[in-house]
Amino acid sequence: MELLITLSLLSTIICFLSSGTLGVLRPRGVSLPKKIFYDPAHHFHCLDGSGQFPFHFVNDDFCDCEDGSDEPGTAACKNGVFSCLNHGHVSLNLPSSRVNDGICDCCDSSDEYRSSADCFNNCKELGEAALEAARAVREKFLKGADIRSEYIRLGKEKKHEYKTLLDELNKQEKKALKVKNEKQDEKESAETRESIILSQEREFKQAQQRRIAAEKRRLLEQIIQEEAEARKAFSELDINKNGKLTSEEIKSFKRFDYDGDGKVGDNEVQFFMQKKEEMSQEEFLSSGWKVMKTAFIMDQTDETPAGFEFEEEIEQPSVESEEKPKITADNDEKIEILKDAAVARKDFADADKLFRDIQAEIWHLKRKMKADFGEEDEFLALEAQCFEFSEKRYLYKFCPFDKVVQVVKVNKEETLIGLWEGWGTGDDRYEHMKYSRGASCWNGPNRSVEVNLKCGTENEITSVEESSPCTYVIEFSTPALCTTLPLEIKKILQNDLPFI
């Protein structure tokens, strides 16, 4: 009986609504933007176009549409969506599977209309707390946005300074190139004079070396010839060929008759034998021949003495008469020429270094001018700065647009974990910085870092995490990213005072 009364009442309401007296009712779980698709006066069309059914099929606890749009207020469809209006707070969409599951998900408790859950409506309290928090975020954002505006101004000023400096460096480069070319000409001229002097000096030294070598060869040949004559003489004097000279053998040769009395006396023998009874070949070659040689020379009446022949033979007229190269400059002039060349080389090296230094600075400036420092150069304020974050074992140094370094606190050992690669991709590209090509891990890849940026009133690292081996994630807050208030904060503040 009660069921019949309820159905009758529902039919009356539907008929009444269809007359246009009242607006269309919103079925349970339907969000306000989708309200227009749920009109009790017409058949319900699945939102994905998968079918149409009488309107009383909506929220009948049976899933008829493939997208679950016919059951927004029940848990019948796995892919259904239930909308909490949450008046006084932010509306919320949740899977319809969580409807009547005994857990209060909506602050207005609308998701637990048919369960034993002890839910109560606390949207007002939550809304007030969320509003205060959103206001704090807005104040922080506005402060960060003001700082960002200053960053933009500084960035534009810096870019203008770069351009001015680049124009000046281009002028200096031309002047430096002119000076370098002049110094190069002076260096080449001085080195030409130096080369002539050094060449003449080398020729003179080479001639001296040739003469010394010739003299050494002459002396060596003389020694060899002298030894040959000595051995020949010993062989002649050693009558019995026993390898020794004796006094009797000396007396057999008239050439040792020094006083001309027709015989070789004991005194003469003692003189030539150096007071020895006998003399070995080694003693003869080392000392005896020097004494006896005169007797052999004097005895040769038909030939020029062998010793003199030797000396004449080894004389090298071509070498001795070789014209010595002449040094055109005296010593003082030579020193001055060498000094001038050294000074010219130093002057050229200084001019060349200045020219290359200017070129390097121009290259770096051009890179900075072409570099991406944000849509309005707001991140340029972070360049040439480094920020640190300390944890239990490590100290991290983050240098925007340059590198990230990990420092072991115990021994201060530094490890490069990333070099600047570029921004992220997509619409939120300026919210992510990528650093790669860090030091290689043991048996692993090179270290790399992703820096996630968020709006903040100060530039600071808020956390560092090694998300996977040798891959690091740094959270960094900066006013440079305070561009737009988050959508969820705007939604909370939509009925609040005007905000930026």
* DSSP bridge partners of 395: 390, 407
Pairing of strands 387-390, 414-423: unpaired
Asked if 289 contacts 279 with a C-beta cutoff of 8 angstroms, the reply is no
Task: Provide the 10 A C-beta neighbour count for residue 24.
Answer: 16
Question: So what's the pLDDT on residue 201?
Answer: 83
Question: So what's the pLDDT on residue 304?
Answer: 38
Asked if 473 contacts 479 with a C-beta cutoff of 8 angstroms, the reply is no
Q: What's CA 29's distance to the chain center, in Å?
A: 59
Closest CA to 199 of 314, 329, 308, 394: 329
- C-alpha span between 63 and 72 (Å, rounded): 10
- C-alpha span between 327 and 299 (Å, rounded): 50
245 vs 249, 271, 290, CA distance in Å? 6, 14, 15
Question: So what's the pLDDT on residue 299?
Answer: 67
Low-confidence ranges of the chain (pLDDT < 70): 1-24, 299-329, 495-500
Buried b (16+ CB within 10 A) or exposed e, 343-368: ebbebbeebbebbeebeeebeebeeb
CA quadruple 293, 294, 300, 304: dihedral sign: positive
- C-alpha span between 117 and 166 (Å, rounded): 72
Runs of H (alpha helix) within 238-330: 247-251, 266-272, 281-283, 289-299, 306-314, 317-320
Question: So what's the pLDDT on residue 462?
Answer: 96
Closest CA to 130 of 118, 122, 120: 122
Q: What is the pLDDT of residues 410-458, one digit of tens each?
A: 999 999 999 999 999 998 999 999 999 999 988 778 999 999 999 999 9
Q: What is the pLDDT of residues 209-222, one digit of tens each?
A: 889 999 999 999 98
